[in-house]
Amino acid sequence: MKKLKDFRHIILYGLILAVLVFALKWLQWKFVLVDNAIDIYIGAIALFFTILGIWVASHIMKPKVETLIVEKEIIVQPPEVFTLNTAELQKLNLNNREYEVLQLLAKGHSNADIAANLFLSVSTIKTHVSNLYFKMDVKSRTQAITKAKQLKIIE
């Protein structure tokens, strides 16, 4: 398709050239110019090398490349991204130990488990847990877990 159109241009150009040359000849004959076959020869040379130039250009030269960038959208679903809600966490004003206890609590550990885990007595854990409930405004560990997960302050 492309070549055909290009050829059209070349043929068109050739025809124009030919017409021009013959017009020139006619002018020569008409106005008593010196009869020189060299003109036709030069015309042929010009025609040949023009075509050669076009051929060289279209075959040897790097083709102009227009790059069309098409964006293909791919939807990616992130595998459970946990983002700690620090704002809510600060609101509760929990101290380090309380937060630590909360995390173990939410994992399903009993007070005894948490005590063993943190090398503390069960009494201490109970104190922390009670303070935790007060600060979180809940009345049981199950409520604490539910609320903590809802507020995204624990994983």
- Can you tell me the distance from the alpha carbon of 33 to that of 25, in angstroms, rounded to the nearest whole number? 9
Distance CA 61, CA 74 (A): 38
Give me the count of residues in the chain.
155
Q: Is 138 left (phi over 0), alpha (psi -120 to 50) or beta?
A: beta
Using the contact rule CB under 8 A, the part of the chain among 69-77, 86-94, 95-103, 123-131 near a copy of itself is 69-77
- Counting residues that bind a copy of itself (by CB under 8 A) gives 69
* 10 binding a copy of itself? (CB under 8 A): yes
Instruction: Tell me the residue type at 83.
Output: T
Q: Among residues 94 and 111, whose Cβ is nearest to a copy of itself?
A: 111
Provide the minimum distance between the beta carbon of 142 and a copy of itself in the complex, in angstroms, as a whole number: 4
Residue 123 sits in the site that holds a copy of itself (CB under 8 A): no
Question: What x-and-dash track marks residues 39-78 binding DNA by CB under 7 A?
Answer: ----------------------------------------
Token pair, residue 134, equals: 């007060």
DSSP character for 61? S
Separation of alpha carbons 63 and 77, rounded Å:
41
Compute, in degrees rounded to 10, the torsion defined by CA atoms 102, 106, 110, 115.
Answer: -30
- Compute CA distances 132 → 31, 39, 92, 103, 139, whole Å: 116, 107, 9, 11, 10
Among 36, 58, 142, 146, indicate the residue that binds DNA (CB under 7 A).
142
Pick the piece of the chain touching DNA (CB under 7 A) from 45-53, 63-71, 73-81, 111-119.
Answer: 111-119
> Which stretches of the chain bind DNA, using CB under 7 A?
93, 95-98, 110-112, 118, 120-124, 126-130, 133, 139-142
> Which stretches of the chain bind a copy of itself, using CB under 8 A?
2, 5-6, 9-10, 12-14, 16-18, 20-21, 24, 28, 36, 38, 41-42, 45-58, 60-78, 81, 105-110, 138, 140-147, 149
